[in-house]
Amino acid sequence: MRLHDTPELKWMTLSVLLIVLMLKYYLDPTDMMGLAISMAAVGVFGIVLVLLMTNLPRPEVFWNKERNLVAILRPWTVEVCSARLLSSVPIGIDLSHSGTRVLRAMYTRYLDKAGGAVVFFIARPMGNQSTRIGFLVRRRGLRLWNGMQQVDRLAKKLVPDIMILERAMRAAYPHLPVKEAEFDDILKVTTGGLETYAVA
């Protein structure tokens, strides 16, 4: 099962069905027919959810090296993201205080424009590679009949996000170099550290 590929909408729907079932039992525990129908609906939804999770196609991933953008096309959603790294971070430095300034700048940006997110990440490789510390910005939308058009729309929105993020990082961490994240770094952040995507 690839839980990361499953949109949050399915889990929200299942949660609503379970809450309705519990409320039904709490308000009218003697209505056995209604309880049976509700339980059957939850069961059918759960079976469909498991079937979808085990049979979803792997997401398509596109890398635009020139613009440093990663586009992830899933069955129902499209995601475009980019990241910036803090290089040469001294051991023991507290990044959280200055990090709030970066998050505040991005919050102002996303306050009026829905569909965006900023993620602070620390990627610690298992081998001898150096630890990656930085921020990732993401734009996500529904995948309609033409996913690539949605990618272009989201990429246009993401470019100003990247500029604001980089400017905020340089202001918050004036003594640390800020550089573009590589393709592998962005994939590790978007997959929780597991490289599970097939590159198209």
Mean pLDDT of 12-23: 73
Mean pLDDT of 32-59: 71
The confidence score (pLDDT) of residue 130 equals: 73
Question: What is the CATH architecture assignment of 60-199?
Answer: 2-Layer Sandwich (3.30)
Residue 38: pLDDT band by 50, 70, 90 thresholds? confident
Apex 130 CA angle, 182 and 175, nearest 5: 80
pTM above 0.85, yes or no: no
Q: Where are the domains of the chain?
A: 3-55, 60-199
CB 42 within 8 A of CB 21: yes
- Cα–Cα distance, 129 to 147 (Å, whole number): 35
pLDDT digits (tens, 9 = 90+) for 72-85: 888 778 889 999 98
The confidence score (pLDDT) of residue 5 equals: 43
The confidence score (pLDDT) of residue 55 equals: 57
Q: Return the DSSP state at 197.
A: P
Which CA distances in Å does 78 have to 17, 148, 194?
27, 9, 19
Residue 194: pLDDT band by 50, 70, 90 thresholds? very low
- Cα–Cα distance, 57 to 141 (Å, whole number): 18
Mean pLDDT of 176-191: 84
Q: Return the DSSP state at 115.
A: T
pLDDT digits (tens, 9 = 90+) for 115-163: 788 888 877 766 676 777 888 999 988 877 777 888 888 999 899 889 9
The confidence score (pLDDT) of residue 175 equals: 83
